Chain A
Amino acid sequence: MKARHLVPLIVFTALALLFGYVLVKMNKGEYNPREIPTEFIGRKAPAVEIPWLYDRNQRVSSAKYAGKVWLINFWGTWCPECWKEHEFLLHLSRQGVPIFGVDWRDDDQEAIGFLRSKGDPFDQVGVDPRSDLAIEWGVYGAPETFLIDAEGVIREKHAGALTPEVWNTKFAPYFLGREAVP
């Protein structure tokens, strides 16, 4: 065996080790190539005032949450990930977490039917048929959930279905010491 015939194997091994290293870091959550730091964390939340899902002539607003910790959740009946997190949202709402639902680019009747049959976890729910609000909040896809603290500042954001693990690591700490601890 000549040394030069080993060169390809050595180069490849080095490359494979690099990939392995990156993947292990990704699995530990220390590295995420897709995590583009959002500009919204730490910023004042934009005021929300949108038509009510059940009657578009009435409006729902975020003003009532002043001084409270609350969530805003972008969802749609067209999004299977949203169905997945629905149970957990119901659980949160039973624990007293105020969730402002935004039914994003959806059919109103389907959304109402969905909430009637599966339960309504939202403190109030509005519609965003033209993505105006979604764009203002920099929403990437549904579902997406933001946490706003008592001072009205966005503290956390989660893209994808909410799970107990995500809740416990990212969101729950903001509810400690308040009554709404699920």
Chain B
Amino acid sequence: MIPELGHFALILALVVALVQGVFPLVGAHRGYASWVALARPASRLQFLLLLVSFSCLTWSFLKSDFSVLYVAQNSNTRLPEIFKFSAVWGAHEGSLLLWALILSAWTAAVTLFGRSLSPLMMARVLGVLGLVATGFLAFLTFTSNPFERLVPAAAEGRDLNPLLQDIGLIMHPPMLYMGYVGFAIPFAFAIAAMLGGRLDAAWARWSRPWTQIAWVFLTLGIALGSWWAYYELGWGGWWFWDPVENASFMPWLAGTALMHSLAVTEKRGAFKAWTVLLAIFTFSLSLLGTFLVRSGVLTSVHAFASDPSRGLFILLFLAAVVGSSLALYAARASKVRSRVHFEPVSREAALLLNNVILVVTTVSILLGTLYPLIVDALGGGKISVGPPYFNAVFIPLTTPLVILLGAGTLARWKRDRFADIWAKVRLAFVASLVFGLAFPAVAMGGFSWRAALGMTLAFWVFFTTLKAVRDSARGRGIGGLSLSQWGMALGHLGVGVFIVGVTLTSIYSTEKDVRLEPGDTYELGGYLFHFKGTTHLKGPNYEGDRGEVVVTREGEVVATLYPEKRNYLSGMPMTEAGIDAGLTRDLFVALGEPLGDGAWAVRLYHKPFVRWIWLGALIMALGGVCSALDRRYRVLARRQREALAGGVA
């Protein structure tokens, strides 16, 4: 009964989304006030229905109702409760339902926080979001129904993929979807602005906080995924340039470009058409990611159960959404005129260059991701494009971006001079060079040019950001900085922290695959690893072995690590690494294969500063939150509300 209720709510939500997508848009075009007025209640009703639907699916999981096919395939009575809950989005159908729920939640949030939008603009925004939702809900209903019954019901379920039975994975997909789907909001604002024929600074001001929040979620989602891959897969890596990773990274890069170009459009009224294009581009990449992951056209570790007929549906949907928005763009962009001028040396120019570099980087990653597909489809055989390509492209492109970051944040709007900028950054430049060159030799105990370059860039970001903070605080004290200025500073500091992590981890990490018998010791990175042997392990839905490794440094015990090798009931072996985390280094032990007589193949890692990678992402995200909470968005909203109320009175 409950699954049918959920299914029914899902179908109703599809109908409501269609109403939300069609009537307000037509009404806004023709001037039917009653049709325009449908937008808001329809959006909220759609959210409510999807909430009911999602709750029903969750209920089926918690009650282990194996008469529902999706539940039988992804859950098991022996699965711990928390994973029964997260199993709801553990595979294609449920995660798509979560995606639709999140989209409707974002839409409902627009109806709440966007009260000062003009009714026409609101109707268009909600209408566009309604059409996007219609596509996803139709996809769910017609090709991926999570409520399909299994007759006869199964006695026991198959179990959730053991890879997904982890705390990091409970949060990773929802965060990512919040990010992906969040970019639908600036997209809808851009389309609505084009439909209304008013591409001015106002739409940029409206989209900016939404874009920032979506970006924060995406940042956290990607960081969580990377962190999870690091400790769960037992590979010790944190990024693999896997097609599905790239699928989340591309919207992130484009979204980063969008945040920066929105700043220019809002403050200076420049880049209007470009910003609209970026908003379309960012959301298209989110949709493209969905297509690549779920159609099965690319092979990846993130193997969703794929089905080419689903792929065709998403492709048609993608073509409809992106094709029509780009056609609209082609028709409207020529009429947009930016009457704003700026010199080649100015904050605008720096941000323009930032956008160019970010977009070129995005396109290079897109090319690398799709290249195997193109070659294979044209009969060129199976090839794989891996880290060598991506690193060779990514690092040379982002190095100038980081240099630009330091100079750009200190440049004036409209017009500046090289000499003036140089005067501001001189000290930071010299200091970062000195610290950058000295750091590898002094702190890491071994000089390397690559490390020196990375650290110089990181110090450059730190020092120029501090300088920018000091300059803005001049005369009003550090407390006088606006949240938006804090946001920028934190965002950039996060980039610096991230660079430190990446540089030092990739250059100074040491790893060793060794055969250890109980009682053996091995020295790595100044630490002694004592292997005490393994004991048998029995969990709720797995069995396995658990090793004990005592790590000492100069005779003192630093940590005792318990790496595990688990065999899940579903037949899948899993490695749980034993990790001692620290701000300056991680010690990492993973069990390989048993070699007989109590001996094991053991993988040992010493990873300096690896935590800084995720710490950097966290700081960046914090910066995004600060910016989105800036006073001026709230003041603006209030002022417009008052103006509106005044106008009526």
Contact = CB atoms under 8 A, between A and B. Distances in A.
B330 interface: yes
Interface string B322-357: 110011011101100000000000000000000000
B158 A23 contact: no
Interface in A69-106: 76-80, 83, 104-105
B93 to A, nearest CB: 14
A23 B297 contact: yes
Nearest to B379: A31
A33 B329 contact: no
Interface in B551-598: 567, 569-571
A6 B295 contact: no
Nearest to A24: B312
Contacts of A1: 330-331, 334
Interface stretch (B369-377, B428-436, B484-492, B630-638): B369-377
A81 to B, nearest CB: 8
Contacts of A76: 571
Interface string B423-467: 000000000000000000000000000000000000000000000
A100 to B, nearest CB: 19
B48 interface: no
B333 A27 contact: no
A23 B315 contact: yes
A105 B277 CA distance: 53
Given A2-B334, A8-B329, A78-B159, A31 B322 contact: no
B322 A80 contact: no
A33 B303 CA distance: 12
B315 A19 contact: yes
A20 interface: yes
Interface string B286-301: 0000010001111100
Contacts of B284: 12
B192 interface: no
Most buried by B among A6, A20, A23: A23
A60 interface: no
B373 A27 contact: no
A127 B549 CA distance: 35
B385 interface: no
A124 to B, nearest CB: 22
A2 B315 CA distance: 27
Interface in B146-168: 150, 154, 156-159
Contacts, number: 99
Contacts of B308: 23, 26-27
A27 B309 contact: yes
A18 B73 CA distance: 33
Interface in B468-495: none
B323 A18 contact: no
A25 interface: yes
A31 B570 contact: no
Nearest to B311: A23
Nearest to A31: B377
A21 interface: yes
Interface string A136-171: 000001100000000000000000000000000000
Given A12-B322, A131-B571, A142-B571, A33 B299 contact: yes
Contact of A26 (B69, B291, B296, B323): B296
Contact of B154 (A5, A20, A80): A80
A48 interface: no
B334 A105 contact: no
B370 to A, nearest CB: 8
B318 interface: yes
B72 interface: yes
B643 interface: no
B373 A33 contact: yes
A39 to B, nearest CB: 15
Contacts of A141: 571
Given A12-B322, A19-B291, A25-B377, A5 B159 contact: no
Nearest to B377: A22
A17 to B, nearest CB: 9
A12 B73 CA distance: 37
A104 B296 contact: no
Q: Which of B297, B334, B571 has the largest number of chain A CB atoms within 10 A? A: B571
Contacts of A64: none
B306 to A, nearest CB: 8
Contacts of B82: none
A162 B309 CA distance: 20
B171 interface: no
A114 to B, nearest CB: 9
Contacts of A2: 333-334
B319 A16 contact: yes
A78 B322 CA distance: 42
A47 interface: no
B570 A16 contact: no
A107 B273 CA distance: 64
Contacts of B158: 78-80
Nearest to A6: B330
B571 A26 contact: no
B72 A16 contact: no
Contact of A18 (B281, B311, B374): B374
A178 interface: no
A88 to B, nearest CB: 16
A78 B156 contact: yes
Contact of A34 (B150, B299, B377): B299
Contacts of B309: 27
Given A20-B315, A23-B297, A78 B570 contact: yes
B329 A26 contact: no
Contacts of B299: 33-34
A9 B323 contact: yes
A76 to B, nearest CB: 7
Contact of A80 (B150, B311, B370, B374): B150
A80 B72 contact: yes
B94 to A, nearest CB: 16
Contacts of A8: 277, 280-281, 326, 329-330
A23 B312 contact: yes
A78 B569 contact: yes
Contacts of A21: 377
B297 A26 contact: yes
B606 to A, nearest CB: 32
22 contacts: A2-B334, A5-B329, A5-B333, A6-B330, A8-B326, A15-B370, A16-B322, A19-B291, A23-B297, A26-B308, A27-B309, A34-B299, A77-B156, A78-B156, A78-B569, A78-B570, A78-B571, A80-B69, A80-B72, A80-B150, A134-B571, A141-B571
Interface of A: 1-2, 5-6, 8-9, 12-13, 15-16, 18-23, 25-27, 31, 33-34, 76-80, 83, 104-105, 131, 134, 141-142
Given A18-B373, A22-B297, A33-B373, 17 more contacts: A5-B273, A5-B334, A8-B329, A9-B326, A9-B327, A12-B326, A16-B315, A19-B297, A21-B377, A26-B297, A26-B308, A33-B297, A34-B303, A77-B156, A78-B159, A78-B570, A80-B69
The 6 closest A-B pairs by CB, nearest first: A9-B326, A105-B571, A26-B308, A5-B333, A5-B330, A22-B377
